[in-house]
Chains A and B, each alone.
Chain A
Amino acid sequence: MSIRFDSVTVAYDGNVVLDSLDLTVAPGEVMALLGPSGSGKTTALRAVAGFVRPASGRVLLGGRDVTDLPPHRRGIGMVVQQYALFPHLRVEDNVAFGLRARRTPRAEIRERVAEALEMTGMAAYARRYPRELSGGQQQRVAIARALAVRPAVLLLDEPLSALDARLRSGMLAELARLHRELPDVSILYVTHDQMEALTLADRIAVMDKARLRACGTPRELYRAPADEFTASFVGNANLLPVTVTASGAALGDARLTVDTAGAAAGARATLCVRPHLVGLGDGPNRLTGTVREIQWRGSTHRLHVDVAGHAVMADLPELRDPPAHGAEIALHFAPEDAVLLAAGVSGDER
């Protein structure tokens, strides 16, 4: 079932927390709402669930306007960060809660509870109470509870944030598997973690300050971000202020060859280069600078280099012979790995 935001604005006490959001999630699509806290992403999700009422605009599910429907009539599955299991109910009764609320026949309840627990790998824990489970197990139960009612729309609000890093990557794979098993379910996935969004989402909607900044496939947003905020929030980015020239861009004295995409010569712009696409030594688009910091990260070295007063990060495969602090080194990047962002698109609002 599709989810559509039609200029949805939400305000609390005159404070706009979601500003005229237009977004459509296709049936069966996983859409990640990615943004820092306070960006309005959770508000958007709660507007779909029916817990906040838009000041203006409509929310549509499968083409039906649900803006005025109470939450219990929207037929949505929802999973939140803190699980929100019912502590006095056993796992199986937690999972059966939604089915009982819908007056599903008893035999069918048993069947679907078993199915949902099977799907989330929690069948062995049906008789336990939530407090007898670990955080990861509780989150699986919460997911089973949401899936048991066979919702056409699943809302996930930071579902992995309460788990530790190792569990998180396991659950991420689990969620991806669940989505393959339930290809018709549309998922709206709210997160502030770019890795979760990049891994799981078909498309990512980047949000900041109550507004939608950019929306696209992870690859699009990563390879060709539309603005500085998106560039820095989806993956790491070196953002360098440059001046557009006839053949490319100028950073201080350095002449760089990049695709200007029709920008007028002399205009100011921001050059975005991903740190892992920066190489050490001579090459096209050579930059020289002073090593300020060297971080060894096991499989990689991260260098922080001062290039004519601008900080440039380079993620390099582990170096056998890393440069010393304060050393003068040369860096380079391929012309096709850099993206020129028009300055002022986002810079003026920050």
Chain B
Amino acid sequence: MNADPTLRSAPVPGTPPAPVPGTPPAPVPGTPPAPAPGTPPASAPGSAPAPAPGSTPAPAPGSTPARAAHPVAAPAADPGTGVGGGPAGPGRGRRLRGASPLLWALPPVALLAVFFLYPLALVVRQSFQPDSGGTSLQPYADVFASPAFREALWTTVWLALASTAGCLVLGFLLALVIAFVPFPGAKGVARFIDVFLSFPSFLITLALLFVYGRTGLANGLWTGATGAADGPFDFLTTPWGVLLAEVTYFTPFVMRPLLAAFAQLDTAQLEAASSLGARAPRIVRQVILPEALPALAAGGSLVLVLCLNEFGIVLFTGAKGVTTLPMLVYGKAILESDYPGACVVAVVNVLISVGLYGLYRVVSRRAGA
């Protein structure tokens, strides 16, 4: 709410740099050059004949008539600009510049379509085609009716929610310490978090296996010390193991935006609060936390989405009883060859993720993060 958006370093994902629909500046035809800073001087709307008016994605209603008027305006505009060289020179540059946003947009859009949207569409289509043939909602009915799906859905949701809550609490506390408790190496820790973000998720799980696994470090110490056959730590293959791994892995995703937000916090506010008689807990609650809310919301919703879709951690803990939606997709598709069923689960997973992402955008925009 209060957060100055320019202060937050958290990048708003997904906002393209505003490709104005109906791109070419196209001011009033015939106006002499330089209508706005940044537009090329010779940007007179004229000549740019190339993009057929209809081919523009989302052609603004006004743009077509404007373009139709160009040829008329062109001769008037050219002498006005009077830039050296023949008319061909500026004309060519103009054409390139006018068309370039579209040209540049084409490859990524095509790539996206071929490698992402089309396969996704195939998945969706498959989900409506039961093995018995034809097109029906039967796969959905089957999947929704199966206890395995409902259990996986529930497991996925509560694991994701619990992990997110854990990450938020742990991340907030750790970020508080790193940002506000001066200790040697705080900077190094903050930098390590950046590195940590680049680790693959299964690496953390693997590390946990080394520590808490059946033959891991902790159990080894225990059996070595007591002579018992088995150690006391046997939670890694339970949902708690998954939870621990997810909290461990995703906490830095919360800390990163928090540290950025804390760095922007005016220390004078903390001092003012302190001189007014507030102790540390009150300062955290009433000064720091409200300032950190946008960052918490941003980090939390990001982690929630990531946890919903987490596959590597669940797979690596080898938790037999823990089946999440991604695991169910994997099981149905690879192990049971039930492609329609797998696709249904995948579609549900995608819908939840997209829904949450939408929520995330709304929240983060409202929060100004």
Which residues from chain A sit less than 8 Å from chain B, CB to CB? 49-51, 70-78, 80, 82, 84-89, 97-98, 101-102, 129, 131, 142, 145-146, 149, 155
Residue B273 is within 8 A (CB to CB) of chain A in the complex: yes
Please measure, in the bound complex, the distance between the C-alpha atom of A76 and the C-alpha atom of B273, giving whole angstroms. 11
- Does A84 lie within 8 Å of B277, measured CB to CB? no
Please measure, in the bound complex, the distance between the C-alpha atom of A59 and the C-alpha atom of B253, giving whole angstroms. 44
- Does B268 lie within 8 Å of A82, measured CB to CB? yes
Please measure, in the bound complex, the distance between the C-alpha atom of A82 and the C-alpha atom of B276, giving whole angstroms. 16
The smallest beta-carbon distance between A119 and chain B, in angstroms, is: 17
A95 (CB) vs chain B CBs: closest residue? B276
Contacts of A101 in B (CB 8 A): 273, 276-279, 282
The smallest beta-carbon distance between B367 and chain A, in angstroms, is: 12
- Does B277 lie within 8 Å of A49, measured CB to CB? no
Residue B275 is within 8 A (CB to CB) of chain A in the complex: yes
Please measure, in the bound complex, the distance between the C-alpha atom of A78 and the C-alpha atom of B271, giving whole angstroms. 9
Assuming the contacts A84-B266, A84-B268, A84-B269, asked whether A149 and B277 have C-beta atoms less than 8 A apart, the reply is yes
The smallest beta-carbon distance between B273 and chain A, in angstroms, is: 7
Q: How large is the interface on B (under 10, 10 to 19, 20 to 34, 35 or more residues)?
A: 10 to 19
- Does A77 lie within 8 Å of B268, measured CB to CB? no
Interface residue SS majority, chain B: helix
From A72, A102, A131, A145, B2 is in contact (CB under 8 Å) with: A131
Contacts of B287 in A (CB 8 A): 86
B278 (CB) vs chain A CBs: closest residue? A101
- Does A97 lie within 8 Å of B271, measured CB to CB? no
B268 (CB) vs chain A CBs: closest residue? A84
Residue B246 is within 8 A (CB to CB) of chain A in the complex: no
The smallest beta-carbon distance between B3 and chain A, in angstroms, is: 8
Contacts of B228 in A (CB 8 A): none
Please measure, in the bound complex, the distance between the C-alpha atom of A145 and the C-alpha atom of B276, giving whole angstroms. 8
- Does A86 lie within 8 Å of B275, measured CB to CB? no
Q: Give residues 236-292 of B contacting A (CB, 8 Å).
A: 266, 268-269, 271-279, 282, 286-287, 290-291
Of listed B266, B272, B273, residue having the most chain A CB within 10 A: B272
- Does A78 lie within 8 Å of B277, measured CB to CB? no
CB-based closest 6 A-B pairs? A98-B276, A84-B268, A87-B2, A101-B278, A101-B277, A88-B290
The smallest beta-carbon distance between B284 and chain A, in angstroms, is: 13
- Does B276 lie within 8 Å of A86, measured CB to CB? no
18 new A-B pairs (CB below 8 Å) besides A88-B290, A101-B279? A51-B271, A71-B271, A72-B276, A72-B278, A72-B279, A74-B275, A75-B277, A78-B275, A84-B268, A85-B269, A85-B272, A86-B290, A88-B1, A88-B291, A97-B273, A145-B276, A146-B276, A149-B277
- Does A97 lie within 8 Å of B274, measured CB to CB? no
- Does A149 lie within 8 Å of B276, measured CB to CB? yes
The smallest beta-carbon distance between B64 and chain A, in angstroms, is: 43
The smallest beta-carbon distance between B65 and chain A, in angstroms, is: 43
The smallest beta-carbon distance between B290 and chain A, in angstroms, is: 4
Please measure, in the bound complex, the distance between the C-alpha atom of A155 and the C-alpha atom of B275, giving whole angstroms. 10
- Does B275 lie within 8 Å of A82, measured CB to CB? no
Assuming the contacts A72-B277, A97-B276, A131-B2, asked whether A84 and B286 have C-beta atoms less than 8 A apart, the reply is no
Contacts of B282 in A (CB 8 A): 101
The smallest beta-carbon distance between B294 and chain A, in angstroms, is: 11
- Does B278 lie within 8 Å of A80, measured CB to CB? no
The smallest beta-carbon distance between A88 and chain B, in angstroms, is: 4
5 contacts between A and B (CB under 8 A): A70-B274, A72-B276, A75-B277, A149-B276, A155-B275
- Does A49 lie within 8 Å of B273, measured CB to CB? no
- Does A80 lie within 8 Å of B277, measured CB to CB? no
Contacts of A98 in B (CB 8 A): 276-278
Give B1-16 as 1s and 0s: 1 = Cβ < 8 Å from A's Cβ atoms. Answer: 1100000000000000
A74 (CB) vs chain B CBs: closest residue? B275
Assuming the contacts A97-B286, A101-B282, A131-B2, asked whether A86 and B274 have C-beta atoms less than 8 A apart, the reply is no
Assuming the contacts A80-B268, A101-B282, asked whether A86 and B273 have C-beta atoms less than 8 A apart, the reply is yes
Contacts of B269 in A (CB 8 A): 84-86
Please measure, in the bound complex, the distance between the C-alpha atom of A201 and the C-alpha atom of B276, giving whole angstroms. 24
Contacts of B275 in A (CB 8 A): 49-50, 71-72, 74, 76-78, 155
The smallest beta-carbon distance between B269 and chain A, in angstroms, is: 5
Contacts of B273 in A (CB 8 A): 86, 97, 101
The smallest beta-carbon distance between A216 and chain B, in angstroms, is: 29
Contacts of A131 in B (CB 8 A): 2
The smallest beta-carbon distance between B182 and chain A, in angstroms, is: 12
A96 (CB) vs chain B CBs: closest residue? B276
The smallest beta-carbon distance between B32 and chain A, in angstroms, is: 40
The smallest beta-carbon distance between B288 and chain A, in angstroms, is: 10
From A50, A82, A97, A146, B278 is in contact (CB under 8 Å) with: A97
From B1, B2, B271, A84 is in contact (CB under 8 Å) with: B271
The smallest beta-carbon distance between A5 and chain B, in angstroms, is: 18
Please measure, in the bound complex, the distance between the C-alpha atom of A78 and the C-alpha atom of B282, giving whole angstroms. 18
Please measure, in the bound complex, the distance between the C-alpha atom of A140 and the C-alpha atom of B1, giving whole angstroms. 23
Please measure, in the bound complex, the distance between the C-alpha atom of A341 and the C-alpha atom of B208, giving whole angstroms. 76
Contacts of A89 in B (CB 8 A): 286
Give B300-319 as 1s and 0s: 1 = Cβ < 8 Å from A's Cβ atoms. Answer: 00000000000000000000
Contacts of A75 in B (CB 8 A): 277
Contacts of A84 in B (CB 8 A): 266, 268-269, 271-272
The smallest beta-carbon distance between A292 and chain B, in angstroms, is: 45
Give B194-206 as 1s and 0s: 1 = Cβ < 8 Å from A's Cβ atoms. Answer: 0000000000000
The smallest beta-carbon distance between A50 and chain B, in angstroms, is: 8
Contacts of B276 in A (CB 8 A): 72, 77, 97-98, 101, 145-146, 149
Contacts of A155 in B (CB 8 A): 275
A70 (CB) vs chain B CBs: closest residue? B274
The smallest beta-carbon distance between B170 and chain A, in angstroms, is: 24
Please measure, in the bound complex, the distance between the C-alpha atom of A78 and the C-alpha atom of B266, giving whole angstroms. 15
- Does B271 lie within 8 Å of A72, measured CB to CB? no
B273 (CB) vs chain A CBs: closest residue? A97
Q: Give residues 1-56 of B contacting A (CB, 8 Å).
A: 1-2
Please measure, in the bound complex, the distance between the C-alpha atom of A131 and the C-alpha atom of B269, giving whole angstroms. 15
Please measure, in the bound complex, the distance between the C-alpha atom of A149 and the C-alpha atom of B274, giving whole angstroms. 13
Contacts of B2 in A (CB 8 A): 87-88, 129, 131
The smallest beta-carbon distance between A101 and chain B, in angstroms, is: 4
- Does B271 lie within 8 Å of A49, measured CB to CB? yes
Please measure, in the bound complex, the distance between the C-alpha atom of A71 and the C-alpha atom of B272, giving whole angstroms. 10
From A85, A87, A102, A142, B277 is in contact (CB under 8 Å) with: A102
A82 (CB) vs chain B CBs: closest residue? B268
Contacts of A51 in B (CB 8 A): 271, 274
Please measure, in the bound complex, the distance between the C-alpha atom of A72 and the C-alpha atom of B279, giving whole angstroms. 6
